[in-house]
Chain A
Amino acid sequence: MNKNNSVLLLQLLAMLLIPALLLGGSISAQDEPIVLDWANDAAWHEAGQDALGEASLDATGIGINTVIFSSTDSYQAAVRGALSTDDAFPLFDWWFGYRMKDLVDAGLLADVTDIWQRHIDLGEYPASMMGSFGFDGRAYGLPKMINYWVVFYNKHIFAEYGLEVPTTWDELMALAETLKSNGVTPFGLDVVGCRWCSFIWFEEMMVRADPTLYQSLMTGETAYNDPQVVAIMEQWRELLDAGYFSQPGDFAELDGAAEEFVNGSFGMFLIGDWFTAALERAGFTVGDDYGVFVMPGITEAGHRSLVIEGRPLLIAENSPQRDVALEFADYFMSVEGQTIWAETSDINSPNLLAPEETRPGHLVDLANAVANGDYELYTRYWEATPPQIVEQVVDLLGQFVLDPASLQTTMDGAEQIARDYWASAGGE
């Protein structure tokens, strides 16, 4: 056999052997555990997801490979772009309420209603929570994170003026007046350093006065310039005119707000419970320096309202691993899964049966109250209505805070935006 023939023979052998080796590899791969990609843009979730993946691997044989994107924009574009293909990430984080509506409408998300229902029946989640993760009685997302919107108060200021946590709207107003008369701004609010913060008091006033009206406004059944809505806005305007709020431009971003809160520039700050982290960074300790309370209702109906914000875990309908992802979702919702998730990610688990030790101390009572059914949960304005409306209305509300006299113009403008959206959405 000459040299050329030897080379030819070797090539032939390689051609036969390589596919055989690859085939062998795939056969042995079948015995390996199934691993699901779980994408998100929150690097601080990585440790928790990995820990949950390891626990899930032991319990269900399904492991997790965390895929972190450093930029929210590229993350959203990559996920949206792949969702209609079989390259879609089987598991991915998103924004709840109307922020996931277009994905639901396009049939890109797996229905997880049955998983929710099973865990609600076990008493692990309040039934009203599921509504924020879906539409028309069906759920399409699982609660990876739930935050309650509460009033943070400076305990030193409250102690200095002999103030108690208010339990009625009148008590809250009397408290605000006491602070004001002592030269302390009652509430912090800025729409300059924080553009979207303009919706916070609009939403809160609505759910405290008439939660049903709030919901119908969110779904386009009530107009923004409806006399009832305008009347509630007038109550907010009275508070603005009374000088109960910090001045626009007083602080830069929410970390700046935390510093001003610590410095005692204002007594109370209405925001999501995640603000705790900013306060701790600014040097305040829960219990010693600050506490939280749910804002009392303006009406009896509004007294039981609680605004929630959530980060859902979604499952791609087109992913070839959809069914395995649904299997993992069941473990994720369980007490065991949620306990591991809460312990390793420092996140307040929405699972009502998760051990108390996994919750930040100041939120234990609130979580128990939610578990007891003391509150009706309402989706935060940012996600409760279509983003095409929200993104424009927050700018109008920002203008209203700067110029409270523009109330009617603000509400007429908001209604025009909402009407245009609902008309085009209805026509689609």
Chain B
Amino acid sequence: MSTEPLPNEAPTAPLNRAPLEAPTRAQALYRKAEPYLYLLPALLLVGGLLLYSVAHTLAISFTDWDLITPPRFVGLQNYIDAIRDPTFTRSFTNTMVWTGGSLLLPVGGGLLLAVVLERIPGQRILKTLIYLPAILSTTVVAAIWSYVYTNNGVLNEALRSVGFDALTRPWMVWAPTNTLAMIVASSWRALGPSMVLFLVGLQTIPAEIIEAAKIDGAGERLLFWRMKLPLLRPITAIVVIMSVIQSFMTFDLVWVMTQGGPGRSSETLAVTMYRQAFIMWRMGYAGAVAVILSAIVLVFSISYLRATLKRSAQ
């Protein structure tokens, strides 16, 4: 008969070793807490920098705080003021236009470029050229495009030189042209990063799937709509979410190019929030705008991700 233990049987302790001591209560507690201690730095960072800020913003949105006198509780007054304010409505509309424009140009344009560039010679140079504006700061982009859009700027001169005089106009003066012009300027910078993300996505699609579809007689159009686009869904979700959040946060470009003007016609919600906080010192009102802005982004992100993930699962 074999004395060897069965595979699932624990080996007995050798006779010459002292039996293991039972852990003390403190040791047991430490072992339980240990994993959480490793999490603590990250938790403190997120808690201190993110959750505290969110809670603080939410709290001040119910006050009339101006940074120098103690805040007074005013209930929902800031939210009521914001919703009744015609400028808030205009900022909201402009922000929606920004969101639509950002989905169309950087997302749609990035996808189109990725698909086209994947197959043409000299793509490396073109990709670099398209990505180049992404390394510029927004302020620099804004300054460059301010000169492009002046009455005698590059755009109008170019249009005149090719005989399209009727298309020339003061680009930054009237709404909604000024907002649309700024979306183009912003997209010039955002196109490169979204194109790169889509290119990465396209490269992760297994070649044999595409090959098989081609053998089955799928044309380029069918390949794109029925194969590539559905397989790109996880990347598309990331690009769309990033783009939407970015467009809701649109501030610096508008601030440098028009400061939301003329006559607040190109103001976005982020500009409204900034003006109320750091120019009018109405921290409560700015907090209310921030809460509304965050709520919209949150609702959009959750519902979009849910829908996308559900479709991916299917």
A-side residues, CB < 8 A to B, are 73, 76-77, 80-81, 83-84, 102-103, 106, 108, 191-193, 195-196, 198, 247-253, 256, 387-388, 391, 395-396, 398-399, 401-402
Contacts and interface: CB of A to CB of B under 8 A. Distances in A.
Contacts of B261: 191-192, 195, 395, 398
B262 A80 contact: no
Most chain B C-beta atoms within 10 Å of own C-beta, residue among A103, A248, A396 = A248
Interface in B239-298: 258-264, 274-275, 278-281
A108 B68 CA distance: 9
Most chain A C-beta atoms within 10 Å of own C-beta, residue among B69, B153, B172, B262 = B262
Contacts of A73: 274, 278
A402 B279 CA distance: 24
Interface residues of B, number: 30
B98 to A, nearest CB: 19
A358 to B, nearest CB: 33
B67 A77 contact: yes
B259 A247 contact: no
B146 A249 contact: no
B150 interface: yes
B173 interface: yes
A102 B281 contact: yes
B67 A81 contact: yes
B149 A249 contact: yes
Contacts of A248: 170, 173, 262
A148 B233 CA distance: 61
B147 interface: yes
Contacts of B260: 195
Contact of A250 (B68, B69, B152): B152
A249 B150 contact: yes
A247 to B, nearest CB: 6
Interface of B: 66-69, 143, 146-147, 149-153, 170-174, 258-264, 274-275, 278-281
B150 A402 contact: no
B280 A388 contact: yes
Contacts of A106: 68-69
23 contacts: A83-B68, A191-B261, A192-B172, A193-B146, A193-B150, A193-B172, A195-B258, A247-B170, A248-B173, A248-B262, A249-B150, A252-B147, A252-B150, A252-B153, A253-B143, A256-B146, A391-B275, A391-B279, A391-B280, A395-B263, A396-B263, A398-B262, A401-B262
Contacts of B174: 402
A196 B69 CA distance: 28
Contacts of A253: 143, 146
A81 B259 CA distance: 25
A76 B281 CA distance: 10
Contacts of B150: 193, 249-252, 256
A80 to B, nearest CB: 4
A195 B146 CA distance: 13
A89 to B, nearest CB: 14
A393 to B, nearest CB: 11
Contacts of A399: 262-263
Counting from the closest, the 8 A-B pairs by CB-CB distance are A252-B146, A249-B170, A399-B263, A195-B261, A398-B262, A195-B259, A80-B67, A249-B173
